[in-house]
Chain A
């Protein structure tokens, strides 16, 4: 029987306390790093500092909002609601007014009177939606301030539009160089008078049947001989003509 050296009972191996020290140091370092590096209020709501939301909400407002304007200028506000500028906020034209709301005497909002300002919206631009009121600044009463004819708080055309081209300039310019140049708009579109006042509520008609175009373009029509003809009974009977042909600028051939 070999005499083994007697090991002490329950003796912790040497590497365990050393490792334990390393682990404890690492844990302390982690806690310390988190304490130093993670900013205050981080993670209270989400993965961000909730204090940042506070500093963003504390930013200064420049635009007061039209309800604020209505508190004092309620008569102007009411008048505007009846006109075509009813969807327009006061600060759209008069600029930011939060300072004016706080100190009405010292901070005055701007009152734009120059033509260039109105032209920002109302000068003719082919990219603008059809039906939006636009003018050609070169020909439309040059050098006269817009306000001398139009009340900006209740803008109505001082005279009813004399021609369709006043609003539908894009269509008119195309039609002018097309084979349909000599046709009047009202030849094809039945236009109620109210259309000039409230263009979206009362709309002009469009030809609803093929015989309308056929009155010039069918084979038995009594139109000049150089007008192109088709056989109405066989030519794509499923469609109304303008579903394929653009009447404001019809094909040349």
Chain B
């Protein structure tokens, strides 16, 4: 490009000699051009990100939500409907080793001086078919059911250890597994302190509770919450005041599992016994 072109395109009224454009003026023009181009350039960068968010589910904005679940232990009757519904909804194998959610039965017997030994925990088939009757129930001092599932930790150890970025926390706080990208190394299973993960026997990838993410984006609650007959499971948003979870947390003393690990779970328990691990 000749200096004449410069004169025409950038500074037709340029002073100072004619055949050379003034340096100060040239830089000024450049700056101005950048100013005009900036929105376009930024737009080009931003567009794919916005598209990716929109395509997640038409109109659903993940950044507006932060999900959590409340569990009222004093309401659970151990019927196992949640376990059955979860297996149906999420295509979990119907065997006795793979669960996204399960129910544990705690039994404390009149055990004498060493009371810690007297705590029994069982979960036959994850509670899927209910629980067999207890033997010698006259000796029972206390007994209750505790539903368990992935705690969707804010500081999720499983997400930290995944070597390929196949498990991740979404913007709405749900910990998910990327089926197509997981290499099945089982690192996350070792890392999870709640035992919430398992390897899918056919797909050979890690699997876990998704809070029924495919239901959440349509405004539905997870399947286990939907079918719970006693409203022992409460679902809602963690940081909003007007949701069932906020009410649950306002009226109950809330506990979390293994708080000393600083995983900051988003599954909150009410009326939880100290023996529950």
Contact = CB atoms under 8 A, between A and B. Distances in A.
B78 to A, nearest CB: 6
Interface residues of B, number: 61
A89 B214 contact: no
Contact of A46 (B76, B133, B168): B168
Given A48-B168, A66-B226, A88-B229, A127 B131 contact: yes
B133 A50 contact: no
B22 to A, nearest CB: 32
Contacts of B145: 127-128
Interface string B184-223: 0000000000000000000000000010011101101101
B226 A59 contact: no
Nearest to B170: A53
Given A41-B52, A49-B178, A65-B221, A96 B143 contact: no
A129 interface: yes
A95 B87 CA distance: 12
A63 B229 CA distance: 15
Contacts of A89: 226-228
Contacts of B249: none
B130 interface: yes
A92 B62 CA distance: 29
B52 A45 contact: yes
A126 B230 contact: no
Give chain A's interface secondary structure class: loop
Contacts of A48: 165-168, 178
B255 interface: no
Nearest to B78: A127
Contacts of A189: none
A190 interface: no
Given A56-B210, A57-B213, A87-B229, A47 B144 contact: no
B85 A63 contact: yes
Interface in B71-104: 74-81, 85, 88-90
Contact of A61 (B55, B89, B143): B89
Given A54-B55, A56-B213, A96-B88, 5 more contacts: A52-B179, A53-B56, A61-B218, A63-B85, A85-B229
